[in-house]
């Protein structure tokens, strides 16, 4: 990447480089007069790839030289003294740091410097915009009042997907290490932890966006102008919906501009975009923002999330969705069905923790988007198989998620899943219904065997979809027989028996009306066929075959054949 010819002189100014690399104050060479206003511009860069220093020198130099004249109209016609202070943090792809630590440091950074200035402007690029928003939520009222405006350059407000080869390689390696270290409770040692926090649907990002929405309803944040390029492959026009929710914000589309162009770096020799982009960046500091009235929303909207499972394209979405719409309309609700799809999910993907978490991020992202659209709606969830894992783990890890009712069919969660903690935190307002089938082989056999594998599946996968959920000896568990948790045992059939069309009206009534009025609609019982003896027999058959091969054949052949038979045996049940 090269610097535009019109800004080539800025790159070599030693003062600018030192300010960017050390996080020191970039001050003008002139001495401020007594009547001149003092303005602080705090710049927060984004992820810097495989380099420890970003390439924002030309942008900072440009702002220092041109911004005083632009801000003169805002300060009685006299150009203020503009000082630029870069906020430095390690933002490489492999950084293991916690974004909350950086946002807390940025908030302390602002609390320390802001009182010495008449006004403060916060400028961020890419991931740096997220850190600014997280820091603003931590500011004291006095410091927040000094923040005159926030200017976001290609802010990844909704998160990003890896698109370049380097990003994909870093994300893949991070997911592999996460799958290996998370069961050992070593999450804080995962390389790339900071970058993975910015992925779309990540726990940290979803929590930030939801907290932002709730904070905006209490106290409006500083006015915000968001610039994004029409050639940006990371940020789209709908990625700033949560920032736009605050009302005093403006989204500006920059033509011919990509994500990296906001650093004023030229990739292909074409500089036609440079001058228009510079004008738009300067104009963002003074552009008038007309508060937009919130869009009209239905007074009683019910949003139903439908989440599919393994080897399932959500064929039941249409019929169950129609039943929910019919029942909701009869009860005075305006229904909205939200299908959550994460592509075809096979058995091998289910065995990988990183792939299961991908489905979790998809649900979290869709939930967040719907809350932004209408935070006053009633939210309910119907999930099947791996979808139950995505929903329950999302609630467990993102405390800002709140729903009214949850319906599970063929759940792959362990029996000891701690629902009581979710009820105590107010994340589930009404109840949970868990329908179990009497011949659910994937849950009754495969998940049963996986639950015996420590570290990788123990405590993460289990037979709650067959044996039902039970309370454990924890202070935050539900008492035995608590009506908020219903285990409906058993339907006659296999893994998808509970989602047959004949049961959809009953499921819809539970989701719309709630556990109290829908208690008489529980499914009829059927005798369970998954006796523990049969499970033990299957497990003994696999282990016996493995032992025989190891004894009577070479260890290498024994291990290979036994592993192959085990995989084939597992796949025969799905």
Find the mean pLDDT for residues 495-518. 84
Q: Angle CA(346)–CA(347)–CA(348) in degrees, nearest 5?
A: 95
Which single residue is written with the structure tokens 């659209």?
373
Q: Please identify, among 227, 254, 284, the residue that sits at the C-terminal boundary of a domain.
A: 284
Residue 225 and residue 347 in one domain: no
Find the mean pLDDT for residues 400-421. 93
Residue 526 in any domain: the answer is: no
Over the stretch 160-182, which tens digit does the pLDDT of each residue have? 877 666 666 666 666 666 655 56
Tokens linked to 45: 């860069």
Q: How far apart are CA 411 and CA 153, in angstroms?
A: 43
Residue 420 and residue 475 in one domain: yes
Q: Of 9-18, 441-450, 565-574, which one has max mean pLDDT?
A: 441-450
Assess whether pLDDT exceeds 70 at residue 520: no
Residue 178 in any domain: the answer is: no
Q: Which residue has the higher pLDDT, 508 or 52?
A: 508
Q: How far apart are CA 536 and CA 398, in angstroms?
A: 37
Find the mean pLDDT for residues 279-289. 93
Indicate if the alpha-carbon torsion angle 364, 418, 375, 338 is positive or negative: positive
Tokens linked to 209: 């966006």
Residue 260 in any domain: the answer is: yes
Contacts of 13 (CB under 8 A, 6+ apart): 57, 61
Residue 296 in any domain: the answer is: no
Q: Please identify, among 284, 318, 345, the residue that sits at the C-terminal boundary of a domain.
A: 284
pLDDT at residue 269, as a whole number: 65
Mean pLDDT of the chain: 80
Residue 372 and residue 307 in one domain: yes
Find the mean pLDDT for residues 316-328. 94
Distances (CA, A) of 501 to 181, 278, 330, 385, 489: 42, 58, 19, 17, 18
Q: Of 130-134, 168-172, 186-190, which one has max mean pLDDT?
A: 130-134
Could you please report the per-residue DSSP string of 382-430?
A: EEETHHHHHHHHHHHH-TT--EEEEEEES--S-TT--HHHHHHTTSEEE
Tokens linked to 249: 């914000």
Residue 116 in any domain: the answer is: yes
Residue 466 in any domain: the answer is: yes
Over the stretch 197-225, which tens digit does the pLDDT of each residue have? 888 888 899 999 999 988 887 888 899 99
Which single residue is written with the structure tokens 């056999």?
445
Residue 51 and residue 127 in one domain: yes
Residue 276 and residue 337 in one domain: no
End-to-end CA distance of the chain: 51
Contacts of 489 (CB under 8 A, 6+ apart): 436, 438, 468, 525, 528
Residue 564 in any domain: the answer is: yes
Indicate if the alpha-carbon torsion angle 317, 321, 324, 328 is positive or negative: positive
Residue 220 and residue 135 in one domain: yes
Residue 242 and residue 367 in one domain: no
Over the stretch 218-254, which tens digit does the pLDDT of each residue have? 888 899 999 999 888 888 777 888 888 777 889 899 9
Residue 358 and residue 476 in one domain: yes
Distances (CA, A) of 372 to 238, 316, 544: 11, 27, 55
Residue 368 and residue 515 in one domain: yes
Q: Report DSSP state, residue 46.
A: -
Instruction: Say how many domains are in the chain.
Output: 3
Domain that holds residue 266: 5-159+192-284
Closest among 338, 255, 276 to 303, alpha carbons compared: 338
Residue 268 and residue 120 in one domain: yes
Structure pTM? 0.82
pLDDT at residue 283, as a whole number: 94
The CATH code of the domain that includes 357 is: 3.40.50.1820
Tokens linked to 550: 């190891």
Residue 369 and residue 275 in one domain: no
Q: How far apart are CA 396 and CA 485, in angstroms?
A: 16
Compute the CA torsion angle 394, 400, 406, 408 (nearest 10 deg).
10
Residue 223 and residue 321 in one domain: no
Residue 177 in any domain: the answer is: no
């Amino acid at each position: 990447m090269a610097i535009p010819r019109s800004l080539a002189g800025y790159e070599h100014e030693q003062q600018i480089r030192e300010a960017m690399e050390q996080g020191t104050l970039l001050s003008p060479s002139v001495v401020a007069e007594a009547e001149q206003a003092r303005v602080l511009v705090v710049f927060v860069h984004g992820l810097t790839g495989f380099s420890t220093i970003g390439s924002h020198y030309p942008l900072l130099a440009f702002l220092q030289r041109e911004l005083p004249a632009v801000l003169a109209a805002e300060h009685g016609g006299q150009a203020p003294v503009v000082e630029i202070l870069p906020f430095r943090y390690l933002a490489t792809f492999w950084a293991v740091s916690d974004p909350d630590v950086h946002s807390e440091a940025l908030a302390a950074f602002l609390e320390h410097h802001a009182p010495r200035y008449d006004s403060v402007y916060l400028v961020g690029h890419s991931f740096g915009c997220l850190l600014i928003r997280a820091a603003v939520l931590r500011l004291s009222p006095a410091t927040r009042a000094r923040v005159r405006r926030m200017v976001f350059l290609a802010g990844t407000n909704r998160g990003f997907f890896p698109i370049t080869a380097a990003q994909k390689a870093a994300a893949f390696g991070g997911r592999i290490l996460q799958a290996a270290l998370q069961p050992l409770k070593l999450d804080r040692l995962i390389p790339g932890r900071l970058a993975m926090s910015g992925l779309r649907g990540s726990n940290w990002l979803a929590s930030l966006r939801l907290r932002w929405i709730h904070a905006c309803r209490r106290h409006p944040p500083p006015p915000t102008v968001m610039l994004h390029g029409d050639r940006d492959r990371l940020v789209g026009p709908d990625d700033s919906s949560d920032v736009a929710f605050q009302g005093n914000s403006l989204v500006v589309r920059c033509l011919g501009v990509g994500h990296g162009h906001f650093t004023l770096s030229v990739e292909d020799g074409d500089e036609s975009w440079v001058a228009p982009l510079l004008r738009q960046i300067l104009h963002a500091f003074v552009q008038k923002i007309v508060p937009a009235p919130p869009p009209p929303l239905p007074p009683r909207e019910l949003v139903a999330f439908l989440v599919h499972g393994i080897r399932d394209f959500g064929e039941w979405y249409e019929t169950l969705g129609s039943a929910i719409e019919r029942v909701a309309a009869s009860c005075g609700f305006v229904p909205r069905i939200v299908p959550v799809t994460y592509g075809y999910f096979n058995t091998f993907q289910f065995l990988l923790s990183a792939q299961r978490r991908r489905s979790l991020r998809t649900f979290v992202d869709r939930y967040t988007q719907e809350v932004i659209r209408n935070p006053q709606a009633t939210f309910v969830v119907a999930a099947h198989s791996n979808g139950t894992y995505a929903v329950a783990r999302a609630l467990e890890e993102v405390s800002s998620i709140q729903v009214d009712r949850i319906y599970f069919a063929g759940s792959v969660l362990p029996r000891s899943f701690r629902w009581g903690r979710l009820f105590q935190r107010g994340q589930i307002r009404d109840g949970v219904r868990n329908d179990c089938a009497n011949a659910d082989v994937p849950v009754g056999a495969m998940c049963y065997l996986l639950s015996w594998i420590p570290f990788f599946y123990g405590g993460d996968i289990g037979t709650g979809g067959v044996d039902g959920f039970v309370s454990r000896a924890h202070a935050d568990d539900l008492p035995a027989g608590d009506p908020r948790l219903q285990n409906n045992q058993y339907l006659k059939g296999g893994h998808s028996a509970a989602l047959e069309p004949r049961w959809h009206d009953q499921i819809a009534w539970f989701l719309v009306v709630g556990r109290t009025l829908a208690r008489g609609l529980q499914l009829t019982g059927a005798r369970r066929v998954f006796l523990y003896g049969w499970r033990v027999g299957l497990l003994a058959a696999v282990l016996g075959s493995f032992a025989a091969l190891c004894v009577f054949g070479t260890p290498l052949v024994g291990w290979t054949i036994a592993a192959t038979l085990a995989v084939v045996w597992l796949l025969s049940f799905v």
